[in-house]
Structure formats: C-alpha cells, structure tokens
Amino acid sequence: MSSERGMPCLLPDAASQAPIQLEKERCAVKLADTAAKNDLLRRLRRLEGQTRGVARMIEEDRDCQEILQQLAAVRSAAHQATVVLVRAYTAECMVSGSPPDEIANALAIALSRLA
C-alpha cells in the first residue's frame, strides 16, 4: 500500500525493527470538537498573518537575523497547530467505535505523515 502521496507507509515493527507496511485504512474523522476547531482556525489565521509579515520583511530588505527569528516563530506556530489537530484527531478516533487495531493503524499513519 502507499500513502495518498504515493509513498509507502512503512513503520518499524516494535519486535523485529523490520519495517511493516500500514494498511491504507484510516479512521475517517472530521474535526467535530468546536473548541478545537476554533482554536485551530485562530492559530492558522495568526500563522497567515505571520507569514505575510515575513514576506513584507523580505520586501523591505530587513536584516536576515530578524527574518530568521520570525521564520522560527512561524515554524513553532505551525507545530503547535499540528499538535492541536493531532490531539483532536486522536480523541475523535478513540470515540469513533472503530476496533482498536484500526485506531492504532490510523494514528500510526497520521503520525508518520509528520515525520
């Protein structure tokens, strides 16, 4: 099997350390938690503003150190938005009623996309 990007979803088997191929089945979940959804949207809007600010800094020929600092802030903000989404996705999968092995597979695939 391969991921949606066409690359195989391979994770090491805990016992043998040999790669195991994950099935493409996934916990089909939409973001139902309104608070998490609002938090994620707020974070993404802030990220959007930060990236526009970085572009403006480049256009204004600002100091590279200042731009790098802002890019680090953008990366950190994107990471935190990812954490919010993974937490909500995990919670939704856990209450989905899917069998534990399907949930584990879905979460492994989701986490492998972050690598």
Return the CATH superfamily for domain 32-95.
Answer: Metal-sensitive repressor, helix protomer (1.20.58.1000)
The answer to whether residues 10 and 111 touch, using CB atoms and an 8 Å cutoff, is no
CA atoms within a 13 Å half-sphere pointing along the CA-CB vector of 32:
11
Amino acid 4: pLDDT: 43
**Secondary structure class of 21 (helix, strand, coil):** strand
The answer to whether residues 78 and 47 touch, using CB atoms and an 8 Å cutoff, is yes
Q: What's the rounded Cα separation, in Å, for the pair 30 and 43?
A: 18
The vertex-30 CA angle with 29 and 35, nearest 5°, equals 125
Q: What's the rounded Cα separation, in Å, for the pair 74 and 60?
A: 19
Q: What's the rounded Cα separation, in Å, for the pair 100 and 92?
A: 13
Amino acid 48: pLDDT: 97
Reading the chain (115 residues) residue by residue, the pLDDT tens digits are: 334 444 444 444 445 444 444 445 455 667 888 999 999 999 999 999 999 999 999 999 999 999 999 999 999 999 999 999 988 888 888 787 788 888 888 888 888 888 7
Q: What's the rounded Cα separation, in Å, for the pair 88 and 94?
A: 10
| Domains of the chain, residue spans | 1-27+100-115, 32-95
